[in-house]
């Protein structure tokens, strides 16, 4: 065989953009993500003026002020806990620090509605904690002694902060680890005492990271529906839910949703602003972590105790309580068929949604890779919109679309076939799948893109020069090289789908329950039967992404 150049036909074709399929698909996905917001605006505009003034006078002021207080309280508390813990494990070294570093992430595994549910039960006047205290103090009846009730704003702020502080802890610790070294050392040589380093150097440096974490925690707070409901806080989310579900006032609910989107826009701008500053500071110096100060004996123990407090309160206590309740229930009644069905529902729904989210994420990320221009980046932004949107708001938008579609399909079917299809889209769970897709697409786009960004552009180019088309290059180069990123995205999305409550409540088909809606229903009714088992299952699965996060954190 010879390597002499055999001239061959070169097929020539009219000019066209290669990989056009990807770009068109990406645009379609972005449009789908934008649609719920447009539907909300359209629906809100249909509301009568009378209704709006009723809302403005009676519902909104209270809901807004409650939400504002909740956000402010959670914001301050997560910032304080998150930053303190981050500094504790980077500036000091003590027995147990290594474990604490990742254990501090564990509360992320507990969704807000589960922490509220667990504490309500734990701190119930005849629950384990109060009974134990009475036994110690020698009181006989709850009438003689009871702890202050947690079913109020303060309780909500504390409980939410206990599980949301890791959003601040994670980026702030990364910032301390990668940024502070040189500056801390320089400041020491310039005469800053150890005690002052935190206030004068570390804290100002970490401010962007803290802001990023805070805005994420606050988005979660806005998204929460269960905890606020259980603890009696009439937040905006609750108002949207009741305005629609109990008063059937769709335009009204849409109007409150728009008010909420404004809040989200504020939070997102806070986050973007903070990230810009963060990027600036990252480029400012080489990263190196600084030598932590060794604490031994009593000081070390005290540090460990301080660090363990949020872990115990935010994860260990509620998880142990749920485990023991679940065990009691299991011994008493075994696994009920309902619960098994619901677990299967949850799994099938989450798994298929995850698949869809990964596929769409791949399309959006690869289209942006093929055409790294402003228009594609804009599409990508739009496709990621849903992540910031509270589940209830998103669900309402999708409800408007699906209900409209269902009505149209039903009418057409009746006219053409003489058959009523009923609520096809909502009834089949397609609407719920759409909601998961919209809400979690950002996660998969983000991690797949991060995976792609580690693949040099010359690989694309080389694959093309060696005869692969755009799609072929994706299959043969990008996909194998970003398998890890895909798997990570899949895990995150799956767990988030499983935990999801606010959209699931609104969009699930009739008589279709998942673990989270089951728990919500029982807690709302005040019956505590299988809920502990459902909650435990959700928390256990929720630990998986935390383990993954902890491993990533260690590699840094």
Residue number, 478 or 518, with CB nearest to another protein? 478
Residue number, 190 or 465, with CB nearest to another protein? 465
Tokens describing residue 171: 């980026």
Tokens describing residue 197: 């380093």
Q: How far is the CB of 473 from another protein (least distance, A)?
A: 9
Tokens describing residue 310: 């949020």
Residue number, 143 or 374, with CB nearest to another protein? 374
Residue number, 234 or 464, with CB nearest to another protein? 464
- Helices 430-453 and 391-416 sit at what angle, rounded to 10 degrees? 130
Q: How far is the CB of 542 from another protein (least distance, A)?
A: 32
Q: Which residues bind another protein (CB under 8 A)?
A: 1, 3-16, 18, 456, 458-469, 472, 476-477, 480-481
Residue number, 192 or 468, with CB nearest to another protein? 468
Residue number, 333 or 466, with CB nearest to another protein? 466
Rg (C-alpha) for the chain, rounded Å, is 26
Residue number, 4 or 417, with CB nearest to another protein? 4
Instruction: Count CB-CB contacts under 10 A for residue 458.
Output: 9
Q: How far is the CB of 458 from another protein (least distance, A)?
A: 4
Q: How far is the CB of 486 from another protein (least distance, A)?
A: 14
Asked if 546 contacts 167 with a C-beta cutoff of 8 angstroms, the reply is no
Cα–Cα separations (whole angstroms), residue 31 to 28, 264, 328, 379, 450 = 5, 20, 49, 8, 23
Residue number, 54 or 464, with CB nearest to another protein? 464
Instruction: Count CB-CB contacts under 10 A for residue 31.
Output: 13
Phi and psi for 294 in degrees, rounded to 5? -80, 125
Q: How far is the CB of 453 from another protein (least distance, A)?
A: 15
Q: How far is the CB of 369 from another protein (least distance, A)?
A: 13
Q: How far is the CB of 281 from another protein (least distance, A)?
A: 29
Asked if 366 contacts 452 with a C-beta cutoff of 8 angstroms, the reply is yes
- Tell me 291's DSSP state: P
Cα dihedral 200, 202, 208, 213 in deg (nearest 10): -130
Asked if 314 contacts 162 with a C-beta cutoff of 8 angstroms, the reply is yes
Q: Token match 């991060």: residue?
A: 450
Q: How far is the CB of 483 from another protein (least distance, A)?
A: 9
Q: How far is the CB of 379 from another protein (least distance, A)?
A: 20
Q: Which one, of 537, 458, 444, 455, lies nearest residue 494 by Cα?
A: 444
Q: Cβ neighbours of residue 43 under 8 Å, at least 6 residues apart?
A: 250, 251, 254, 400
Query: Quick check: helix, strand or coil at residue 94?
Result: coil
Residue number, 422 or 484, with CB nearest to another protein? 484
d(C-alpha 119, C-alpha 346), whole Å = 24
């Amino acid at each position: 065989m010879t390597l002499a150049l055999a001239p061959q036909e070169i097929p020539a074709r009219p000019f066209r953009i290669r990989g056009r399929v990807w770009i068109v698909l990406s645009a379609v996905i972005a449009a789908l993500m934008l649609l719920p917001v447009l539907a909300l605006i359209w629906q809100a505009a249909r509301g009568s003026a009378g209704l709006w003034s009723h809302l403005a006078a009676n519902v909104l002021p209270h809901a807004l002020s409650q939400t504002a207080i909740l956000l402010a309280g959670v914001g301050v508390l997560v910032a304080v806990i998150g930053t303190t813990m981050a500094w504790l494990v980077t500036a000091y070294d003590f027995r147990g620090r290594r474990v604490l570093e990742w254990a501090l992430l564990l509360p992320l595994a507990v969704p807000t509605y589960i922490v509220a549910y667990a504490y309500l039960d734990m701190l119930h006047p005849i629950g384990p904690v109060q009974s134990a205290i009475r036994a110690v103090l020698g009181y006989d009846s709850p009438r003689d002694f009871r702890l202050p009730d947690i079913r109020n704003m303060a309780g909500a702020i504390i409980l939410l902060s206990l599980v949301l502080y890791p959003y601040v802890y994670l980026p702030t610790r990364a910032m301390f680890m990668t940024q502070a070294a040189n500056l801390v050392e320089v400041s020491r040589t310039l005469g800053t005492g150890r005690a002052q380093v935190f206030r004068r150097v570390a804290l100002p440096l970490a401010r962007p990271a803290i802001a990023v974490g805070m805005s994420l925690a606050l988005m979660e707070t806005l998204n929460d529906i269960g905890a606020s409901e259980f603890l009696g806080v009439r937040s905006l989310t609750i108002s949207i839910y009741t305005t629609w579900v109990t008063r059937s006032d769709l335009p009204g609910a849409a109007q409150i949703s728009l008010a909420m989107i404004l809040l989200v826009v504020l939070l997102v701008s806070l986050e973007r602003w903070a990230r810009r500053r963060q990027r600036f500071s990252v480029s400012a110096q080489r990263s190196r972590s600084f030598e932590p100060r060794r604490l031994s004996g009593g000081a070390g123990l005290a540090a460990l105790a301080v660090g363990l407090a949020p872990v115990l309160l935010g994860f260990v206590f509620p998880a142990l309580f749920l485990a023991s309740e679940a065990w009691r229930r299991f011994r008493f009644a075994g696994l009920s068929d309902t619960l098994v069905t619901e677990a299967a529902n949850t799994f099938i729904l989450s798994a298929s949604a995850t698949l869809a989210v990964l596929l769409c994420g791949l399309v959006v990320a690869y289209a942006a890779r093929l055409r790294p221009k402003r228009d594609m980046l804009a599409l990508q932004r739009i496709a990621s919109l849903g992540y910031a949107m509270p589940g209830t708001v998103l669900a309402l938008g999708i409800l408007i679309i699906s209900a409209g579609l269902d009505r149209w399909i039903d009418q057409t079917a009746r006219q053409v076939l003489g058959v009523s299809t009923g609520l096809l889209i909502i009834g089949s769970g397609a609407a719920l799948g759409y909601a998961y897709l919209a809400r979690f697409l950002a996660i998969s786009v983000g991690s797949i893109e991060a995976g792609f960004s580690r693949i040099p552009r010359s690989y694309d180019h080389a694959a093309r020069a060696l005869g692969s088309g755009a799609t072929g290059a994706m299959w043969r180069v990008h996909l194998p090289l970003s398998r890890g990123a895909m798997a990570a995205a899949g895990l995150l999305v799956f767990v988030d789908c499983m935990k999801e409550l606010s959209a699931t409540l609104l969009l699930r088909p009739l008589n279709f329950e998942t673990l989270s809606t089951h728990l919500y229903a029982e807690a709302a009714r005040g019956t505590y039967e299988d809920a502990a088992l459902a909650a435990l299952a959700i928390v256990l699965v929720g630990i998986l992404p935390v383990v993954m996060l902890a491993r990533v954190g260690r590699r840094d």
